Amino acid sequence: MSTAQRVAVITGASQGIGAALVQAFRSRNYKVVATSRSIKPAAEPDIVTVQGDVADPKTAKLVFKEALDRFDRIDTLVNNAGMFMAKPFTAYSKEDYAAFMATNVTGFFHMTQRAIEIMNKQGSGHVVTVTTSLVDQPMTSVPAVLQSLTKGALNAATKSLAIHPMGRMGEVSEVVDAVMYLDSAGFVTGEILHVDGGQAAGHHTI
């Protein structure tokens, strides 16, 4: 596993953060499966694109089938797909609510469930989910209750998923990697980064 070229699956990959993540993973020699509703075919052989709605379970099935058929493994899932719409709470429509739930929550559920099934069989893997600071620190200038409702659910789910036992103590190199990340992350400040194999999420190593 450690000598093979790694593979990342990225949702919401056609623009913005998602498109930048595709290029970032490629620059680190990952093969990439990129998906979104509007994504175009890629010319590069180590990028596979899958067009589809992340909320449709068929999309997750196709994404991971393509990943395994083409690259034979999954190392990282980045749940980047999401929608944002700032409105006063009472101005949200039933359609707004349904759209937020579909993209932000249902999409996360289908993609993450399938990824973890595969990663459990492999014995390794990472799931990264992009949410929002508005969950912890709302802003009066940005009324976004549906954003906080749905992305807050992802924060809670991510913490719950993190309690699978690592079954070992941490290595010095893993703490060093975290320190080096913080040193290079110019926009990360005031954070407590737990490098503890899930202990802070609720798993306590015996």
Q: What is the largest CA-CA distance in the chain?
A: 53
Integer Cα distance of 120 and 162 in angstroms: 13
DSSP state of 164: S
Condensed to tens digits (0 to 9), the pLDDT of residues 41-66 reads: 999 999 999 999 999 999 999 999 99
Reduced DSSP (H G I as helix, E B as strand, rest coil) percent helix, strand, coil of the chain, to 5: 45, 15, 40
Question: Which run of H or of E encompasses 9?
Answer: strand 7-11
One-letter amino acid identity for 3? T
pLDDT digits (tens, 9 = 90+) for 114-154: 999 999 999 999 999 999 887 878 888 888 899 999 999 99
* The pLDDT value given to residue 96: 96
